[in-house]
Structure 1
Amino acid sequence: MTMGDEGRSYTVDDALLALGFGKFQILVLVYAGIGWISEAMEMMLLSFVGPAVQSAWNLSSHQESFITSVVFAGMLIGAYSWGIVSDQHGRRKGFLITATVTATSGFLSAFSPNYITLILLRSLVGLGLGGGPVLSSWFLEFVPAPNRGTWMVIFSAFWTVGTIFEASLAWIVMPKLGWRWLLALSSLPTSFLLLFYKMTPESPRYLCLKGRTTDAINVLETIARLNGTKLPSGILISDHQIELQNIDNPSEDTVLLSPRKNEVEIPKGMVSNLGGISSLQVLLSPELRRSTLLLWAVFFGNAFSYYGLVLLTSELNGHSKCMPHKLETEKSQDVSYKSVFIASFAELPGLLLSAVAVDKLGRKLSMSIMFFMCCIFLLPLTFYLPEDLTTVLLFGARICITVTFTVMYIYAPEIYPTSVRTTGVGVASSVARIGGMLCPLVAVALVHACHQTVAVLLFEIIALLSGICVMFFPVETMGQELQDTVSSLKPTNNV
C-alpha cells in the first residue's frame, strides 16, 4: 500500500503474512501450550482430589464440592482481572503474574495441614488459572490470518494432552502416594513458564497499538530472523492511524509510525488504557454488545457441559447408589480412574474434527452442529443404561463438546479488537466459571440424589440453548484479519 510521499507501508497483519508461520511461532506455541497443559491438569485433578480428601478428612459432601467450587470462583475473578491487566500492561506481564500465582499456590496446597488452608490455596490456584485466555490471545496475535484456525486447533491439543496426562498421573500416583503428591506434581508444568519467561516476546500487535513501534519492529525482525524470511518494505503503521487519517485528512498524507518515534497519541476511541469498568462498557457498546452477550451465554454453556461431562463420567459409572446391581465398593475408585482416562481420549477425535471443520464449515456452523449432536448423545442417558453403553454415549458427547470448546476459544479472540481482546475473552471466561461452579450441583448432587433423568435433561437444555445462541452470532471470522480498534467494527446492537 502506497501512502503519498512516504512510500510503502505495512501493518502487523501484512508483516505476519509475509513472515509466515515458522520456527518462531513453533516456539511460542510450545510455551503457550505448556500453560494450557498446566491449566488442563489443574482442572482434571478436581475429579480425583475431592473424593480422596473427603475420605482422608471425613468431609461432608458439601465440603467436598466446595473444593471444586472455590477453584472456579477464583477463576471467575482471575479471568476478568488478568484480561484487564494484559490489555493495559501487556500480555507478558499478564501471564507472568498468573503463572507465579498458579505454580506457588498449587505446590503449597500439597502441604495443606487442614481443610481451611486447602480451600484458601486452591482458590488462589483458581485465581491464577483465570489467566489462561491471556496465553491463547498472546499466541493468536503471532499467527498469520490464513493459518489461524488450524494452528489454534493445534494449540487446543495441548489441553487434551494435559487431560490425558493428568488422568494417567492420577491413576499411577493416587493409589500409591496419595492426593498430596498429585497436587505437587501437577503444579510443575506451570513452573516451566517461569523458567523461560525471559525469552518470551511481547505481542507486536499490542506494542503497535500502544505506539511502541520500535519495540514492535524489533519483535517482527526477530520473527523474520528465526523464520528465515524478510519484513515487507516500508514503514510499520497501525490500523487506528489509517482510520483517523481517512476520517480527518482523506486528501493528505497519512501520518505514519516511524521507528524513530516511540510514542504516538492514542485516539479517544481506544480503550487500551482504560480501567476495568470502562473496558466492560466497551464490551457492551453498540459495536460489540450482541457478540458479547451471546459469547457469555455460549461460554457458560460450554463450561457447564464440558466439566459436567467430566464429572458424569465417574458418577454414572460405578458410583450410582440408585442402581441395585451396581454396589459401591473399594474398587469403585479404580473404575473412576479408568473411566476418566478413557473419556479423556475422546478429545483426540474431537480435535481432529475441529481441525477439519473450523476452516471448512466455519466457526459458527461447526459449533452449532456439535452442540446439537451433543444433545443427541446425551438423550439416552435420561435412562439407566449398562456401563459400557453409558461410556460410549459419554465418549460421543465428550467429542462434541470438545469441538465446541476448541472452536469457541478460536472464535472468541477473533471477534474482539486488540484493544480489548484479552479483556473480552477474560470476562467471557469468568462467565464460564459460573457454569463450572454450578455443574457439580447437577452432575454430582442430582445423580447422588437418584435424579439422573433431571440432571441429564438439564444438560440437554443447556447444550441446546448454546447451539441456538451460536446461530445468532453476527459475524463469521473464518479467514478474516484481526481488528485492532472498536471503531473498525460494525455495530451489532440489534439483539
Structure 2
Amino acid sequence: MPAKIKIHSFSKLEAVLIHDAEPADFERAISASGYGKFNVILYIISTAAGWSSVFETTTMSYVFPAAECDLKLTLNDKGWLNAVTYAGMISSAFIWGFLCDTLGRKKLLIIGLLLDGLFLMMAALSQNFILLMVAKFLGGFIINGPFAALTAYLSEFHCAKQRARVQMILGAIFSLGNLILPILALIILPVNMNFNLGILEFHSWNIYLMISSLPALASGIAFIFLPESPKFLMSIGDNEKALDVFKEVYRVNTGFSAESYPIKYLVDETKINNFDISSTTSDVIVAKTTQQFFKEGIHQIKPIFVAPQITKILLVFLLQFMIMMGLNTLRLWLPQIYQAMNDYQFYHNESATLCESLEVFQPKNDGINITKITQCVVNSNNTEVYTNSMLVATTSIIGYITAGTLINSLGKKKLLGILGLISGSMAMTLYFSKTVASTIAFSAMFVTFGSIGINVILAVVVDLIPTSLRTMAVSLTMMFGRFGAALGNLIFPYLLESGCAPPFFSVGSVMIGCAFLAYFLPDTDMKALL
C-alpha cells in the first residue's frame, strides 16, 4: 500500500521510468528515443548514400556524348555500358541480403559505399572502353549492398508510425539524385578540358565521373560515426549495445541526458524467435559457410514459388521485367537523343523533327554508317541537353509526390493500368514529335509515369506477399526488373539503327503491355504508395 502512495506522488516522467522497468520490445524502445536532430542527420547522410545508387546507374548516359570520340564508342558500346551496371547488380542479387543480416547494416554501408566510390573513381580514370566496362560492372555488383542496407537502416531508426515517411524520403532522395546529375553535367561537361597526369589523359567527362564518386566516399566515411541499427543488435542478442544506441538517439533528439532514457531493459528477441545465442556472439553468426548461406537462400526462396504465391509472384516478376525494360532503356538514352537534336541544330543551323535528328544513327544505303565516314567531333555547345534532362527530372519529382495522393482513390491495380497506358502512349508519340519542346514534354511524361509504375509494382508485392517473404520477394522482383533493363539497353542500339519508328513503338508496346497485364493482378489493400 505505501508503494502505491509513493507512485501516485511521482511526476509523469518518474511514472514512465517505473512503468518501463519491464523489458521493452523494439517498437517501444525506438518510440521512446524520440524524433528530431538524429533523424535529420541520418537523412542528410542517407541523401549522399542514396545518390550513389542513382549515380552508379545513370552517369554514363550523360558521359556518352562527351566521351564518344575519346573512347571511340559505337552505339553498341553505349548499350553495353548501360547494361553492364545492371548485369553487376543481377550477379550480386542474392549475396547482399544475407550479408546485411549477418555483417550488420552499418558495416555493409561503410564497406559498400567506399568500394562503390573507388569503382566510380576507377571508371573516372579509365582510358579505354574495356576498363570502363570492368569498372561499371564492379560498381553495379557492389551498389546492391548499400542500396538494400540503407533501406533497412533508415527504417530501423523509426517507429512504425514514422516508417511510411522513410519510403517517401527515400523516393525524394533518388528523385533529387536524378536532378543533380544533369546539373553537374551542365557545369562540368561543356568545359573544354584536356590535360595529362603521367600516363593518364583527362577530359571533362573524367572529372564528371570523379565528382560523381564523392557522395559514395563521403557517406561511407560518415557512416563510420553513426551507430549500428539497434534492431539488428537486438536480433543478434546484443541488447546492451542496442540500449546504448537507443540512449544516444534519445540524447541527440531530446537534449536530455542518456541516463534519463525511460527504457532500462530490452526483450531478448533471440529467445522470442526460439533461437538462443546466449553462448555465442554476432561473430559466430557471421562465420557461416557458403553451404549454410546456400541452404538459407533456398529456404527463403522456396515458399515464394509454391501455391498460392507462385502465380501472383510470376506475374509481378513479368510486370517489373517489362516496365524496367521500357523505362530504363529509353530513360538512359534520352541524353543521347537530346544530343542528336542539339547537334542537328548546331551543325545545320536549323531545327528538325526528332526522326530527322536521329538519322545520324542509321546506316546509309551502302551499309556504311555516317559516323564512320565523318570525323568524330564533340559538340560542347550542349547546354540544352542538360537543361532538358533537368526538366524531365523535375517533372518526375512532382509526379512521384502526386502519386501518393492518387493511389488511395484509384487503387494500385487501376493506377498501374493507367500509368502503363499513358507512358506507353507517350513513348509512341515521340515518333511524331516535330519540335524540341514536344520531345521534352512527351519524354518527361513517359519517364514520370513509368517511374511511378515501378514503385506501384513494389507496393503490390508488399500487399500480395506475406510479411515473412516480402524482403526476398522484393529483391527477386528488382532482379527481374534489372535483367529487363540490361536486355533493353543491349537491344536499343539495333532499334535506333533500324529506323525512327522501331525504338519508340517497341518501348511503347512494352509499357502498354504492362497496362494489360495489370488487369490480371488481384485487388490489393488501399495502402499509401509512399
Band of TM-score, shorter chain? 0.7 to 0.9
Partner of 1:182: 208
Secondary structure at the counterpart of residue 340 of structure 2:
coil
| Match 1:137 to one of 145, 152, 157 | 152
Partner of 2:355: 323
Partner of 1:49: 63
8 Å Cα contact 1:87/1:422 also seen in 2:
no
Which letter does structure 2 place at the counterpart of 1:76?
I
1:374 Cα deviation (Å)? Answer: 2.5
Which letter does structure 2 place at the counterpart of 1:22?
G
Structure 1: stretches of 5+ with no match in the other structure? 1-5, 245-254, 267-272, 481-495
Secondary structure at the counterpart of residue 228 of structure 2:
coil
Q: How do 1:65-464 residues align onto structure 2 when only pairs under 5 Å count?
A: 65-131=79-145, 132-176=147-191, 177=193, 178-228=204-254, 235-237=265-267, 274-276=292-294, 278-285=296-303, 286=306, 289=310, 292-314=313-335, 316-317=337-338, 319=340, 323-324=355-356, 330=379, 333-357=382-406, 367=416, 369-381=418-430, 383-406=432-455, 424-453=473-502, 455-462=504-511, 464=513
Q: 1:274 and 1:24, CA in 2 relative to 1: closer, same or farther beyond 3 A? A: farther
* Greater Cα offset, 225-234 or 173-182: 225-234
TM-score (norm 1): 0.78
1:14 Cα deviation (Å)? Answer: 3.3
Partner of 2:375: none
Partner of 2:371: none
Partner of 1:487: none
8 Å Cα contact 1:11/1:236 also seen in 2:
yes
8 Å Cα contact 1:101/1:124 also seen in 2:
no
Secondary structure at the counterpart of residue 211 of structure 1:
coil
Q: 1:325 and 1:151, CA in 2 relative to 1: closer, same or farther beyond 3 A? A: closer
* Greater Cα offset, 167-176 or 291-300: 291-300
Based on CA coordinates, which of the two structures has the bigger radius of gyration? 2
Q: 1:226 and 1:422, CA in 2 relative to 1: closer, same or farther beyond 3 A? A: farther
1:411 Cα deviation (Å)? Answer: 7.0
Distance in 2 between residues matched to 1:92 and 1:11, nearest whole Å: 21
* Greater Cα offset, 48-57 or 330-339: 330-339
Secondary structure at the counterpart of residue 236 of structure 1:
coil
Which letter does structure 2 place at the counterpart of 1:380?
T
TM-score (norm 2): 0.73
8 Å Cα contact 1:235/1:256 also seen in 2:
no
Identity %: 20
Which letter does structure 2 place at the counterpart of 1:102?
D
- Write out per-residue CA displacement over residues 144-181 of structure 1, whole angstroms, 9 at most, x where no aligned residue: 22232233112221112222111111122112132111
Q: 1:479 and 1:385, CA in 2 relative to 1: closer, same or farther beyond 3 A? A: closer
Partner of 1:61: 75
Q: 1:8 and 1:406, CA in 2 relative to 1: closer, same or farther beyond 3 A? A: same
1:183 Cα deviation (Å)? Answer: 1.0
Distance in 2 between residues matched to 1:292 and 1:222, nearest whole Å: 41
Secondary structure at the counterpart of residue 127 of structure 2:
coil
* Greater Cα offset, 412-421 or 214-223: 412-421
* Greater Cα offset, 457-466 or 226-235: 226-235
Distance in 2 between residues matched to 1:53 and 1:85, nearest whole Å: 36
RMSD across aligned C-alpha pairs, in angstroms? 4.1
Structure 2: stretches of 5+ with no match in the other structure? 1-19, 194-203, 285-290, 345-353, 361-377
Q: 1:326 and 1:87, CA in 2 relative to 1: closer, same or farther beyond 3 A? A: closer
8 Å Cα contact 2:337/2:358 also seen in 1:
no
Which letter does structure 1 place at the counterpart of 2:133?
I
Distance in 2 between residues matched to 1:243 and 1:414, nearest whole Å: 24
